[in-house]
Structure 1
């Protein structure tokens, strides 16, 4: 392991001397540079990858802002437990360990070895006229998320992705994004799980009114999270912060996860160097959010599923970035002539 910090020049030199034209591997080169920089070694490795999916119920779902009823949240958690969801399929395909976390689902799952019980409460309150959660609950979420990551790090994991499940959570995420970036709610709100135009207009009206009602709270990230957040959004925020603090690569999924990341970034800007944005989702606010973060997502597949699916699909690109850096010949080792200088 490199004991002193690698310079940008050292990292770039290793990338540039591979047997290819300068920059010919495009975004993979940027990815290799980032991974090398985070791990501070010219021979980076991806160890024991994990994806954690946080699930929680949302009081705002009772306000007619979602195409699906809130009971879909526990039903989908049971689907995760049974191994039948998209994230189960993709993590199996790519050899990624999957952890399922009940952050605050309005359902009693009992004891289940495939589900981590981190329940803060049985769902948040509807934030139309009261905060979604108390400040103490928000703090609890941040701490539980960090604690889970510490346990995962202890297994030797150095690359971790995050996903979520919670009917109503695009509503939470939209208002949080609006408040933290100071843009109108209407620019952040999309169709979520599949609203029609009339339902979308109602969603925008409900969320704009709720944001205006809580105008007095300001835009401090902890206050915004407690007022409008979901338990899974806040827990993921705490998890992302801790993963970055521990020097892990943080795989950021779609819209909801990116809003958790935005909250974490506002609390601790140093998280930025560890974050890999896996895809641009088809949710309206996500493109605007990525632009504001000046983030280049690895994939654009028009997905809007959540669950960490974008992290699982992007993971092989990280493997390829590490593989070319470690295994591809250099001009010198391969005896290949470099570009001639005029």
Structure 2
């Protein structure tokens, strides 16, 4: 049988079209998930992200993760907003109270005293996941897990010799950088400092130039990252810093049920590993801080008791006006406050 030149050309075109079409069909079947956060490779967010991607592969999920760490998509607050909108469906972020003032609950002082208590309250199947989900549901977000970063304290910049440990007297005249959140301003005002609300992105330069004297809400990993501009690190341990690992609710619900199940399973496996390692990571960074020449100061039991008394009397009633008596009574029960 003879095949004309025209027929050959037509046949070749069809074969080529099919060859080009098949890979694109296969690619289209995979769901693309953009995951972004604002922190560098030595932060627990990066470890959480890479662990999640590994666990997701183990489930056989047909989801392709497009990963953007280190603030490539903006600071943590702007990425949080992008996740609310579904532009960046998944992120790891702190409580952005400009979108819901109840999120300041994540910064609440002296809820837990140690890692064992923290895991019980904030860890996998902990009491706070449901509380946060109730709040974040209104922002079209779902909590996949609560990521621990460690106990936050205060730090003085290079050249400032004061080491405030007796509050509120020792805070007088010290300009303290705080996140631009009401609860942060209230806390350090109660401790006697002059609060200076400032974005995290401006913090290092402000310490370097002496625009501020100190910074609050400081876990050990951040002191290690900024060690060359830090004189001393005072372990007030005034709150347990943790972040939300969230996914856009609409995006998640649009996933095929089987893929959604695999994603949640991968997230659960990731959270178990993260909490198993988080304490060692936090303590490891504190050891590095000590070894770097930064002066590390611990509060005496009496000083710690006074610090708690101040914040329970000032910050907690302030927060009750925001979240209501029911939630704060639950928090008092957790913290063992009568």
Q: TM tier, shorter chain? A: under 0.3
The structure that is strand-richer by fraction is 2
TM-score under structure 1 length normalisation = 0.25
Structure possessing the higher radius of gyration over alpha carbons: 2
